[in-house]
């Protein structure tokens, strides 16, 4: 298919592929073929249930001109809020450490009352009713979280906020700065799972964080806002503090790179400038990945 020309040199920071215990649209290799056809520079592989660094490493051995990277989501199934698992992932070459997603307390609270299989495999995962939180009973960062933040800061890789609540994200951002973490990614800030109000998004941007502007939030799955509202929020925050991502890969949706192409087209139609798009899909992802 014909992809939007602005995808040339782009990097998709947030999408999902197979192998996975969840139904996925494409294998890693099918995703990579789309990346190459779109003349993109690379992609980050994300999985809620596994470390993706080894997969990305093998792909780079076969496709050395591409920037294909992985990382670790700190869910119950991958070790939780464990400095040891973070240390091991960093030693493997993780580019991003994501805070808990489907194991986060915020996620469990949001989906606890919903009859949906959006995040379930055919046989639902055993997940605690009360999910993981980075805070203790006094709303202070837990000691083990300070330990893993120190590792991320020392390695100079990206800390992503996962499905933490806006309150947790605000506290985490300040703690990350204490640990000299310079690459901070606020995940799908507009998505209904863990929404971040626009005034907080602007405050996080002022503190140096990058905000994901996520196509999934505009999809039929969530319908949290329109692409025109998304474009307006980018104008308010500033493209220099945003990245465009899809969070696609679900079996019932179009493939991630096709989604990114559509997203770019719709942002341009909504008045986002081509230079702004390039900042959000080329320049800012490269900074976060240390390229």
Q: List, in order of start, the domains of the chain with CATH numbers.
A: 5-289 (3.20.20.140)
Categorise residue 238: left if φ over 0, alpha if ψ from -120 to 50, beta otherwise: left
Tally of CA atoms within 13 A in the half-sphere of 236 that contains its CB: 16
pLDDT of 110 reads 59
pLDDT of 289 reads 98
pLDDT > 90 in the chain, percent: 89
Of 120 and 220, the one with more pLDDT: 220
The predicted model gives 101-117 an average pLDDT of 67
Does pLDDT of 126 surpass 70?
no
Question: For the whole model, what pTM was predicted?
Answer: 0.93
Question: Distance between CA atoms of 41 and 22, rounded to whole angstroms?
Answer: 26
pLDDT > 70 in the chain, percent: 92
Mean pLDDT of the chain: 94
- Structure tokens that stand for 78 in this block: 């991958």
């Amino acid at each position: 298919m014909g992809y939007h020309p602005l995808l040339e040199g782009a990097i998709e920071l947030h999408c999902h592929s197979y192998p996975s215990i969840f139904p996925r649209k494409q294998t890693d290799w099918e995703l990579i073929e789309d990346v190459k056809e779109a003349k993109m520079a690379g992609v980050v592989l994300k999985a809620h249930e596994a470390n993706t660094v080894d997969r990305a490493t093998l792909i780079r051995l076969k496709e050395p001109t591409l920037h294909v990277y992985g990382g670790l989501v700190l869910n119950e199934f991958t070790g939780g809020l464990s400095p040891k698992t973070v240390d091991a992932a960093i030693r493997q070459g993780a580019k991003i450490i994501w805070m808990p997603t489907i194991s986060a307390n915020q996620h469990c609270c949001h989906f606890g009352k919903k009859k949906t299989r959006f995040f379930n495999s055919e046989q639902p995962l055993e997940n605690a009713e009360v999910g993981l939180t980075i805070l203790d009973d006094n709303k202070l960062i837990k000691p083990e979280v300070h330990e893993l933040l120190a590792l991320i800061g020392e390695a100079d890789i990206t800390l992503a906020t996962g499905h933490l609540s806006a309150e947790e994200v605000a506290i985490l951002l300040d703690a990350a700065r204490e640990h000299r973490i310079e690459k901070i990614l606020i995940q799908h800030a507009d998505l209904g799972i863990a929404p971040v109000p626009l005034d907080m998004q602007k405050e996080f941007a002022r503190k140096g964080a990058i905000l994901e502007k996520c196509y999934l939030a505009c999809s039929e799955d969530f319908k949290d806002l329109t692409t025109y509202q998304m474009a307006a929020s980018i104008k308010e925050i500033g493209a220099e503090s945003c990245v465009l991502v899809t969070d696609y890969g679900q079996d019932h949706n179009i493939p991630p790179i096709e989604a990114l192409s559509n997203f770019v087209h719709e942002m341009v139609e909504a008045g986002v400038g081509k230079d702004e798009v390039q900042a959000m899909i080329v320049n800012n992802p490269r900074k976060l990945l240390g390229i």
